[in-house]
Amino acid sequence: MEKGLEDRLKEKLVSSQEIFQGRIIKVQVDTVELPDGKTAKREVVKHPGAVVILPLTNEGEVVMVRQYRHATGEILLELPAGKRDGAEEPLECARRELEEETGYTAEQWQVICSFYTSPGFCDELLYLILAKGLVKGEARPDEGEFIDVVTIPLAEAARMVLSGEIKDGKTCLGILAGSALNDHE
């Protein structure tokens, strides 16, 4: 890291007040000291972190899920994903979520990358995990979770991302990363 960069950019936490505690997230308002000595307020959504899985079949298809997302008011096409339970390891979470949501298990697993979903206000860290050697089974979605499982050729899914048909950010990143990796194999 460039010398002095932290002194020029990093904010120091002065105080923190939790204003909401939900089932999945917490919201807090932090007071921070800016590098110039002034103070500012930051609203922060605290999230336990999650995984997003890129399940690829031997035929080059992506296993995806369709589900209604209340916040958007739309049925979205997404990669399987889910929240980590406490200190659950990302690969353990990915195995559990893939099987629950799609019924598939995988013989090969690889962490591709990790990324923050919206670092301007949220600390959620997602792990993008590639799953290959898929074996089809029976889905066991969580109570209250209604999912339609579909398979789409990877190239078609990439086209759908670029045309705006696929709008979910984690899915867009996963599909485009999968396409880039596929081009280099």
Q: Which of 2, 59, 143, 185 is catalytic?
A: 143
Tens-level pLDDT at each residue, the chain (185 residues): 677 888 889 999 999 999 999 999 999 999 999 999 999 999 999 999 999 999 999 999 999 999 999 999 999 999 999 999 988 999 999 999 999 999 999 999 999 999 999 999 999 999 999 999 999 998 887 888 899 999 999 999 999 999 999 999 999 999 999 999 987 66
Give the 3-state secondary structure of residue 115: strand
Query: Could you tell me the pTM of the whole model?
Result: 0.92
Active site residue 43: no
Task: Assess contact for 53 and 44: CB atoms under 8 A.
Answer: no
Q: Which residue reads 């990915």 in tokens? A: 94
The reported pLDDT for the residue numbered 1 is 65
Give the 3-state secondary structure of residue 23: coil
